[in-house]
Structure 1
Amino acid sequence: MANYSYTKFSDGETTDNNVYTNYIKDTYGIEVKAIWDVPFEQYEQKVNLMIASGEMPDFLAVSPSQFKQLYDAGSIADLTDIYEKYASDQTREIMDLAGAEVLESAKMKGRLMSIPWTGVAKEGVSILWIRKDWFEKFNLSAPQSMADVLKIAETFATQDPDGNGKPDTFGLGLYKELSENAMVGFLNGFHAYRDIWIKDADGKLVSGDIQPEMKTALAELQALYKNGWIDKEFGVKDIQKLEESIASGKVGMFFGNMGSAAAPLQQLTPENEWLPFAVPSVDSEPAKLQIPLNIFNYYWVVNKNAKHPEAIFPIIQTWLDMFYYNTSDELYTQYNYDSEQDIAHWMNAPIKIYKNKRAENHLAEIEVLNGGKDKTSLTPEQRNNLAGMEKYLAGDKKYWNVYYQDGPESSGKIAVEYLEKDMYQPTQFTGTPTPAMLQKKANLDKIRDQMILKVILGGSLDEFDKFVEQWKKLGGDEITAEVNEWFASTK
């Protein structure tokens, strides 16, 4: 097989001879050999050269376009029956948690032709973070709607939360990168979705960029800007500049992610705690948080000539057993991370799939915190989180970041809520880029983002309607037709 990464080894270890390859050989009798090894950033180019040469290992991680190329060439094995027979319950559970569209995206003409390298997109969605001292100063309640968010933004911008007598604070932290949570979380609260495909009332796929909900959200952002409740210079400021404003105590609320308490908030304001809240909705319909196709860049494919295509599943199981399900500190050091040597052994696992674990961690840790189970039932990572929570509860406030990421009222609890209520809006287009996309999408994206900034900074809302017309004429209608042609072919 081909190695897809680059790592640091213990003395005497290599890509082909390490704790993972040895375990797989000793446990399953499978000998893993890499035909080459390159740094991550060179991987896709190397795979392209390999495909062109006609040389292919038994197992290989490939991009979506490479997956289609190999399928069209008849080079990869049909895994439909193999998956049904050999995939473990844990593997199936991870595929289910990733989203039904993920496994569907690995199929061609109804047959499973790859195993998705599942990602953690569901853990990267937006969370609303609010400074605890400002929240308490104004005796605020948890925001139940986007109207509440706007009201809090007004309060923080106009009521001198830092008490210095100057109008120098902002209600909501934003910066120029429109693809990041700071902006996307706000849009999603208005059921607006940037850069993904959704279903319309007729069941056809449409671009979220041109839907009326986007115009509604932009109108509110324009009002925030006009009123001075967001930084007047946000359109030219990057994430570092926003972090400087947070560190200097000028921002009291922003849309981050589930891990924002640790980075950047605890690093920027170690003495100021921040509270997490689920993204509220503008109306009675719950907000849904947009996610791209939930894969980690690649699909695992199997050479059609591989003698044992089923071997992919014990290799995956080794990864799951050692990385996600292990409860031994000794095995954690041996197979995951050795802190004394600063070696990430987990990088050596030949085949990986990722799972959402924040909700699972929260539930397990809270059960132990409440006395329902013993600490030995936890993984080393969970025990470490629990220790941080216990230190916080004992008065060591520097562990507030752990408490608000894993504790009783944390982003972990919100992760559970998001999963249980299925508060996700995955893109409905999971195919490879269409011909018109390859030619025209980059330009359409550029004019979209120019329009967004122009409207927020005070341009007429008519700019949105002009953009929609322009988008359609410059290739949007063509792309939409291709997307729906693909969508029809999947049914």
Structure 2
Amino acid sequence: MKTSKKRKIGGLALAGMFALSAVLSGCNSGASKEAASGTPSAPSTALEMKDGKYDPPVSITYLRPWGPDVKFKSGEDQDNNVHTKWAKDKLGIELKNQWVSPSTNNAFETKLRLSLASNAEMPDIISYRGEFNLVRELIETGKFVDAGELFDKYASDTWKAAVNEDPSVWYPYMQDGKRIGIPILDYSYNGDPVMWIREDWMKKFNLQAPKTLADLEVIMETFTNKDPDGNGKKDTYGLTIGFKNWLNTWMSDAGWIFGAYGTMPNQWNLKDDGTLEYGSVNAGAKQALATLHDWMSKGYIPEEAGVYDETKAAEEFTAGKAGIVVGPHWMPAWPLEDVKKNNPEAEYKAYPIPSGPDGKAGRHGTSNGNGVILINKDMKNPEAFFTYQNYLFDNYANPKAGGEFEHGFAEGYDWAMKDGKPTTDASVTGGFAPEKYTLTFDGARIPSLSMTTLAKLANGEEATTPFEKKMQTGVPQPMLEAAKIVLDQKDIVMNQMFTGSPTMTMQMNNDILTKMEKDTFSQIIYGKAPIDAFDTFVEKWKSSGGDQSTKEVNEWYQSVTSGK
């Protein structure tokens, strides 16, 4: 659910056209130099280009999971569609799936693992977003080249700048100092939370915007005990959260409560001294748990919070039972559209994350990376992939007016003309999304572009570029306002800083440590254990492998950052 909904909202990008000749000629000359150098990553033969495309055409074999959100027109499929035709006609590149497998029920992962077990030939390119352990398995086969070296030589300036917005996107795919996988980029801050509050309830009681947890408690007290829905029953809550899957989650989040005390649970945070610390054992977590227990005892949050997952908890808000929920800026598109379906008079509004008693505020962050590209060390002409992806970054990621991608990827698919004007209305176009056919799932994304555009529009500035105009027509006002809040509070972001594979101690002890943590935290929140049980938990966590995990995590962090 999480990924599909994020993709739904994130798929608001357009495209346009820049000059191609410099990029392509640069790739071709680079290929010639590499061939002459005899380095391991050099292509076996320099490719010829004519009129901006390879002549004769070059083939790229690849594998990627195909999700249920990918829809084809009648007569088209994964190997023959508007995108594969474009790649061949525009660039002289023939794209061929080595085999096709759906992303559901781990079908793709199972088939790929079987291929690895039988030592089957790998394709030129594997593009993947999903199970991190599978990525590590692929990297450890030694079948894939140092893609970072190729990236430095062949990637366009636009693509390099996009990656350099956050160089840590490389970290999960590094081995022995080499960048084996190229990160697939997503939009920045796409999952960072804001606070959504029932605005009609705020107006009813003349409540002020909550700047602190103390302010928020006044609001929660009112929403819980003063019948905000006017039905004469005590059946509402101040805040809905769901911590069945954990406290620091993608929606119906409670991580910000810990952020108010300077930590973020269930992730590794960067300390002032430059080392990493597991956020759940920071002293601030004890204060956050005491706050959650207090709110639970006062009825501000549902008793069922411990068994609610993220979606179920959000339903308390959409059903009009809770007045506050915390989650991403895109929630007006889903699931908050149900608020008005259930009550046409209802209003909701985004507010900043409040601060704690010492003025601290914190929210979990969202990585700029959302997948990986692996390049086979036996690929004859890896520069062909860069020709393909460079073109998408230079032309599609942020299109120019009058360019080939000004209105979308392909007319009759993601856009169409109606009454003499371009429209992306799915009832007219059929709702096809050719960017989902691409090797990297979304065409190309410049991380900062989406949120800065939304914030610009929220400020009332004019939409001038094709990307901005598409955003303006496709995004409701509450989402624009929420995006501005996200950017305004970017200094409170606390990112997960450990993105490597589980360390040796983690592999042995994490199940025990995680169960210990969840049990202790849940008992404290529900009042079944005293708050000082936290101190006992920390001591036991450290002695049961936590200290050794911390040592190993910091060794990993030092290894990936030492070259900075």
Counterparts of 1:260-279 in structure 2, within 5 Å, are: 260-270=331-341, 271=344, 272-279=346-353
Q: Does 1:137 align with 2:204?
A: yes
User: C-alpha displacement at 1:137, in angstroms?
Assistant: 2.1
Change (3 A) 1:31 1:86: same
Report the counterpart of residue 397 of structure 1 in structure 2: none
Which residue does the alignment assign to 2:451? 359
Name the SS for the 1:206 alignment partner. strand
SS class of match (2:234): coil
Q: Offset of 1:188 from its aligned partner?
A: 2.6
Residue 256 (structure 2) aligns with: 185
Match of 1:255 in 2: 326
CA distance in 2, matches of 1:243, 1:363: 25
Q: Letter of the aligned partner of 2:307 in structure 1? A: V
Q: What CA distance in whole angstroms lies between the structure 2 residues aligned with 1:333 and 1:188?
A: 47
Q: Describe the shift of the 1:233–1:17 C-alpha distance in structure 2 as closer, same or farther (beyond 3 A).
A: closer
Matches within 5 A, 1:4-83: 4-6=65-67, 7-40=70-103, 41-52=106-117, 53-62=119-128, 64-83=132-151
Which SS does the other structure have where 1:404 is aligned? helix
- Is residue 117–residue 299 contact of structure 1 (8 Å, CA) maintained in 2? yes
Match of 2:382 in 1: 309
Q: Could you list the per-position Cα deviations for residues 80-129 of structure 1 after superposition, in whole angstroms to 9, with x for gaps in the alignment?
A: 343233222332343234x3311243333433322112345721121101
Q: Which consecutive unaligned segments of at least 5 residues does structure 1 have? A: 387-401
How many residue pairs get aligned? The number is: 466
Q: Deviations over 1:391-438 (max 9, x none)?
A: xxxxxxxxxxx11012xxx112123324xx443222221211112222
Q: CA deviation at 1:216?
A: 0.7
How far, CA to CA, are the matches of 1:150 and 1:414 in structure 2?
Answer: 21
Summarize the alignment of residues 468-483 of structure 1 with structure 2, pairs less than 5 Å apart: 468-483=538-553
Pair 204,322 (structure 1): closer, same or farther in 2 beyond 3 Å? closer
Match of 2:174 in 1: 107
The CA deviation string for residues 467-491 of structure 1, in whole angstroms up to 9 with x for no partner, is 2122223322232222122223332
Give the whole-Å Cα distance in 1 for the aligned partners of 2:232 and 2:445: 49
Letter in 1 for 2:352: A
Give the secondary-structure state (helix, strand or coil) at the position aligned to 2:364: strand
Give the SS at the match of 1:32.
strand
Residue from 327, 334, 337 that aligns with 2:406? 327
Would you say the 8 A contact 2:349–2:478 is kept in 1? yes
- Pick one of 479, 496, 513 that aligns with 1:444: 513
Q: 2-side partners of 1:448 and 1:354: how far apart?
A: 37
Asked if structure 2 preserves the Cα contact closer than 8 Å seen for 1:21 and 1:350, the reply is no
Q: Residue in 1 aligned with 2:265? A: 194
Where in structure 2 are the equivalents of 1:337-352 lying within 5 Å? 339=427, 340-352=429-441
Deviates more, 1:212-221 or 1:102-111: 102-111
Q: 2:536 aligns with which of 466, 479, 485?
A: 466
Cα deviation per residue 1:136-177 (whole Å; 9 max; x = unaligned)?
223233222222222221222233323344433211112343
What corresponds to 2:492 in structure 1?
A: 423
Matched AA of 1:429: F
Partner residue of 1:489?
Answer: 559
Q: CA deviation at 1:32?
A: 1.1
Q: 1:230 to 1:37 in 2, by over 3 A?
A: same
Could you tell me which amino acid in structure 1 is paired with residue 454 of structure 2?
H
CA distance in structure 2 between the partners assigned to 1:186 and 1:333 by the alignment: 47
Q: Deviations over 1:435-461 (max 9, x none)?
A: 222222123212211222111111310
**In the superposition, relative to structure 1, how do residues 332 and 174 fare at CA in structure 2: closer, same or farther (>3 Å)?**
farther
Conservation of the 8 A alpha-carbon contact between 2:190 and 2:366? no
Q: CA–CA distance in 2 between the matches of 1:330 and 1:123?
A: 22
DSSP-derived class of the 1:252 partner: strand
Deviations 1:296-316 (A, max 9, x none): 2x3211111212212222332
SS at match of 2:75: coil
**What is the deviation of 1:248?**
4.2
**Are residue 86 (structure 1) and residue 159 (structure 2) matched?**
no
- What's 1:225 paired with? 296
Cα deviations across residues 293-345 of structure 1 (Å, max 9, x unaligned)? 5432x321111121221222233245554466343158365357865434333
* CA–CA separation in structure 2 for the residues paired with 1:231 and 1:65: 35
Q: 1:396 is matched with which residue?
A: none
Question: Larger helix proportion, structure 1 or 2?
Answer: 1
Secondary structure of residue in 2 paired with 1:31: strand
Q: TM-score, normalised by structure 2?
A: 0.75
Give the corresponding residue for 1:404: 478
Aligned residue number for residue 3 of structure 2 = none
Give 1:2's match in structure 2, choosing from 54, 63, 74. 63
Equivalent position amino acid for 2:436 in 1: M
Verify: 1:212 aligned to 2:273, yes or no: no
Partner of 1:394: none
Does the 8 Å CA contact 2:82/2:410 hold for their aligned counterparts? no
CA distance, structure 2, for counterparts of residue 82 and residue 239 of structure 1: 40
Q: CA deviation at 1:198?
A: 1.6
Question: Aligned partner of 1:3: which letter?
Answer: R
Whether contact under 8 Å (1:219, 1:461) holds in the other structure is: yes
Which of 307, 311, 317 matches 1:236? Answer: 307
What residue is the counterpart of 1:96 in the other structure?
164
- The residue number in structure 1 matching 2:214 is 147
Match of 1:469, SS state, is: helix
How far off its partner does 1:220 sit?
A: 0.7
Q: Residues of 2 paired with 1:201 and 1:360: CA distance?
A: 28
Instruction: Report if aligned partners of 1:2, 1:35 keep a CA contact under 8 Å in 2.
Output: yes
Secondary structure of the corresponding residue to residue 269 of structure 1: helix
Distance 1:239 1:424 in 2: 20
Shift of the 64–456 alpha-carbon distance from structure 1 to 2, 3 Å rule, reads closer
Bigger mean CA deviation after superposition, 8-17 or 129-138: 8-17
* Residue aligning to 2:22: none
TM-superposed CA distance for 1:130, in Å, is 0.7
Report the Cα offset of residue 260 of structure 1.
1.6
Cα distance in 2 for residues equivalent to 1:435 and 1:125: 31
Secondary structure of 1:33's match? strand
TM-score computed with the length of structure 1 as normaliser: 0.85
CA distance in structure 2 between the aligned counterparts of 1:448 and 1:86, rounded to whole angstroms: 46
Question: Whole-Å Cα distance in 2 between the matches of residues 238 and 65 of structure 1?
Answer: 24
Q: Determine the C-alpha separation between the residues in 2 that align with 1:2 and 1:247.
A: 39
Distance 1:287 1:100, change over 3 A: farther
The verdict on how the C-alpha distance between 1:304 and 1:275 changes in structure 2, with shifts beyond 3 A counting, is same
Distance 1:200 1:413, change over 3 A: closer
Instruction: Say if 1:361 and 1:412, in contact at 8 Å, map to a contact too.
Output: no
Please, what is the CA RMSD of the aligned residues?
2.8
